[in-house]
Amino acid sequence: MMDNMKIGQMYPATLPPGNVRVGSKPGAGAPDKSFQQVLQEETLKFSHHAELRLKQRGIQLEPEQLRKIGSALDKAAAKGAKDSLLIMNDLALIANVRNRTIVTAMDGDNLRDNVFTHIDSAVVVS
């Protein structure tokens, strides 16, 4: 099985779900969330459609932009948003807030004369 854990060491994804818990102190009863739940809540995902649009339009997102998008989703979630339009410079993203999934992406050229439907909020990302 596994030897003693070392800080910074990577472990295979085959650990049983819920094996590592966060949000509780030893002996304090049931933990709040599993590591897997926390990771899924923090992970930004892209739908197949969004990946195609980004590739077709030559849009590459830098780590700092991804961090800002994640932060925008956190703000939208705090307000109870479900599907949001995220506007960042000359880029527009439609995101499913609950799943933290970018559904589609448009650049400045494709934003003109566009109507955005099936959203309940908009976030200007700065």
Q: What is the mean pLDDT of each run of 10 residues along the chain (126 residues)?
A: 47 42 47 60 87 93 94 96 96 96 91 90 95
Among candidate residues 35, 42, 29, the one with its CA nearest the CA of residue 70 = 42
Q: What is the pLDDT of residue 85?
A: 97
Q: Which structure tokens are listed for 13? A: 């994804």
Per DSSP, 110 falls in state H
- Its sign, for the CA torsion 36, 47, 115, 111, is positive
pLDDT at 1: 45
